[in-house]
Amino acid sequence: MRYAIADIHGCCQTFRALLERLRIERSDSLYLLGDYIDRGPNSRGVLDTIMNLDCRVVALRGNHEDMWLRASAPSDDPVRSAAHFSLWMQNGGQATLKNFAGIDTEPYLAFVRGLPVFVELDDFLLVHAEFDFSLADPFGEEGVESMLWSRGKPYPGKKPVLCGHTPLPLDRILEGLRTNRINLDNGCCYVGHFGYQNLLAYSLDDGELLVQPNIEEDE
């Protein structure tokens, strides 16, 4: 079986509970659509879980991983470095910084650096945010910013796109399952927000959606 999950955002206990419910086997494929870190209590645990899964894993980079990389990169421009760090902190980076206190982050950053920003299958396109089809090459270098950050761009294609990035209430996600752009971000980390706070797994083979409520406790 093939499953897609988006925007885990440090919700490690919830992620592991969802994986247990899926009963992932070595022959299965798991497509992860980015934003594994920030906001939730255990970003490191999420990355450890992904890096040690015993199945075929295709993990994409999200904008939060990209912010972490930029904030952590050596630079001769202190103003630019401060701007990258500030942007990350404004978007939930404090939780990840706290979670990695005293930990060597380089193995994790190396893993994140190697993540692609999209993947194309015979029957689906998978990306964190969305494609900009106004570009000459929406899948090339000039399209990376859109694939990580964009919202609200029209999609003229017929092949269904699986994405995350923009938190939507569950009823809108269910409606979207019948369209050619399926958003799987139900704002798992937004505890207390009606219609949100679930982590979703979508089956690329039969279209079923598994809903796992947030079960996080501070770690």
Label residue 156 by pLDDT band (50, 70, 90). Answer: confident
Domain of 102 in residue numbering reads as 2-213
Would you say residue 219 lies in a domain?
A: no
185 located within any domain: yes
Separation of alpha carbons 115 and 82, rounded Å: 24
pTM, two decimals, is 0.96
Number of domains in the chain: 1
* In the chain, % of residues over pLDDT 70: 99
SS3 182: strand
**Residue 126 falls inside a structural domain:** yes
Give the model confidence (pLDDT) of 170-207 as tens digits: 999 999 999 999 999 999 999 989 999 999 999 999 99
CATH number of the domain encompassing residue 106: 3.60.21.10
**Would you say residue 35 lies in a domain?**
yes
- Give pLDDT tens digits for 57-114: 999 999 999 999 999 988 878 888 999 999 999 999 999 999 999 999 999 999 999 9
Residue 219: pLDDT above 90?
no
Question: Does any domain span residue 41?
Answer: yes
- Contact by Cβ (8 Å): 173, 200: yes
Q: Is residue 218 part of a domain?
A: no
Does 86 fall in a domain? Answer: yes
Cβ burial, residue 27 (10 Å; 0-12/13-18/19+): exposed
Whether 218 has a pLDDT exceeding 80, the answer reads no
Expressed in angstroms, the distance from the first to the final Cα of the chain is 32
Task: Report the alpha-carbon distance of residue 219 to residue 214 in Å, rounded.
Answer: 14
pLDDT tens across 11-58, in order?
999 999 999 999 999 999 999 999 999 999 999 999 999 999 999 999
Q: Residue 159 corresponds to which tokens in the numbers above?
A: 């092949």
